[in-house]
Amino acid sequence: MSEQNRVAIIENDNAGILRDTAVSHIGFRVVDVPTNEAFYANVLGLVRQAELPDGGVRLGWGTGHHVVDLIPGEPGLDHFGFEVRDVDGIPGIRGRLVEAGYEVTDLDESYVDFAATPVDAISAINPEGVPVHFHTAVWRQGENSADTGRRPIKFQHTTVGTADVQRMVDFFANAAGFRVTDQLADGRFCWLRSNTDHHTLAIVNVGQPGVLDHYSYDLAEWEDFKTWCDRLTDLGVTVQWGPGRHGPGNNLFVFFDDPAGNHIELSAEMEKFYDGHVEYVARKWHPIPESVNLWGGQLPKWRKTSEGNRGVEEARP
């Protein structure tokens, strides 16, 4: 690629402070709450845990912490959250965000949860106006030990769409304390870690601010992809992309949509990072289709790279 297309993503000393922080939950605004609730129950095994004001519903697995909020309204990303197990994690995040000039409020009311201990929770408004929740440890029923043929083993990462990748990195890495693991060399996509997983958050330039690109659940292993692709087909859910393997993260993937059009990924085998043992340098992947899909480079219709694009439709005979 040409030198002028290379963009370095800038991090400061706060990047990498978070070492034990995972994805927690996500909230969407949808027009039709009942249809989406039925989808999440039938396909992902998420059941209603609570009713939210104005006809919204809170969904989770068993008595575990909630995973998805469905909120009636103009379709879009309402908020997303992270579970912080770092020592002094919430005060640290709060202090760094406030110092950098971001708005932070308490979230006490929302976190009357199934946790045995009180949950400290904050909400910070990211640079594109979307609230980001950070809270201390919660109970997550069945995580990593569930019936993987009928429910994923956990909620794994959120990928937000933005109009300005660096502005979002300033919030998540240079203030909150995530760290860039990898980027596309054109600076239009980066993956950030906050524990040993290659990414718990990714940021991609989609030309508009404050949107969800996709979010992802983990399966236990490759064998489960067979079961899930058969299961999705039986349920009348169209597989939109994959199965394949990403370059950044090296994780296996398959994608499908919920009724509101949110892209959902199932993933496994994500690369691990051990910051306590080794100094990593973020890699810059060529912005070509083969980087985001090692198996042939076919892309879904909603994904493009700056150097070439091969849609699934064109690639299939």
* Residue ranges in contact with Fe ion by CB under 5 A: 216, 265
Helices (H), 45-132: 89-99
Beta bridge partners of 184: 285
Helices (H), 87-164: 89-99
Nearer to Fe ion, 6 or 295 (CB): 295
Calculate the alpha carbon distances from 174 to 3, 14, 81, 212, 284 in Å: 25, 5, 18, 21, 19
Assess contact for 161 and 303: CB atoms under 8 A: no
3-state secondary structure of 255: strand
- Nearest approach in angstroms of CB 103 to Fe ion is 28
- Nearest approach in angstroms of CB 244 to Fe ion is 11
Nearer to Fe ion, 83 or 265 (CB): 265
- Nearest approach in angstroms of CB 108 to Fe ion is 31
Nearer to Fe ion, 186 or 265 (CB): 265
Structure-block tokens of residue 210:
């404050």
Assess contact for 104 and 97: CB atoms under 8 A: yes
Nearer to Fe ion, 78 or 265 (CB): 265
- Nearest approach in angstroms of CB 308 to Fe ion is 20
- Nearest approach in angstroms of CB 159 to Fe ion is 5
Nearer to Fe ion, 218 or 265 (CB): 265
- Nearest approach in angstroms of CB 155 to Fe ion is 12
Nearer to Fe ion, 205 or 216 (CB): 216
- Nearest approach in angstroms of CB 188 to Fe ion is 15
Torsion-angle region of 263 (φ positive above 0: left; ψ -120 to 50: alpha; else: beta):
beta
3-state secondary structure of 261: coil
* Count of Cβ atoms closer than 10 Å to residue 53 Cβ: 7
CB burial class (10 A; 0-12, 13-18, 19+) of residue 85?
A: middle
- Nearest approach in angstroms of CB 56 to Fe ion is 25
* Residues 304, 215: Cα–Cα separation, whole Å: 17
Nearer to Fe ion, 100 or 232 (CB): 232
Q: How many helices (H) and strands (E) does the chain have?
A: 6, 17
CB burial class (10 A; 0-12, 13-18, 19+) of residue 180?
A: buried
Nearer to Fe ion, 113 or 197 (CB): 197
